[in-house]
Amino acid sequence: MDVDPVTDSDALAWMCYDALIGSEFERTHGWHVNLLPASVLKEFPEGWEGRASRRTYGMMSVVIPAPVDILAPKLRRNEPRDRLHAEWASHVGIL
């Protein structure tokens, strides 16, 4: 598993770099971070921000797109692993 953050915070970005794929963080915790550019948000369907969940942790605000919006660019890409993600999401009822 991984987390795909988009941030304009240099401090948060540096923390993400410490948890990239193949890092000690991943070896210890079993998941990694893929720091993404803000342009990736343009791949989400129109209105995604209205469907997103929001949380604040101290000074950090987190916006989590809805599963249907996260899957949209994956399904356009149409790779086998992306189709499997969509099948799984449907099977467990998050779509």
DSSP 23-66: SHHHHHHS-EE----GGGGGGSPTTHHHH-EEEEETTEEEEE--
Rg (CA), the chain: 14
Q: How many CB atoms lie within 10 A of CB 71?
A: 21
Cβ atoms of 35 and 17 within 8 Å: the answer is: yes
pLDDT tens-digit series, residues 14-56: 989 999 999 999 999 999 999 988 898 999 999 999 999 999 9
Q: What is the pTM of this model?
A: 0.74
- Specify the DSSP class assigned to residue 19: T
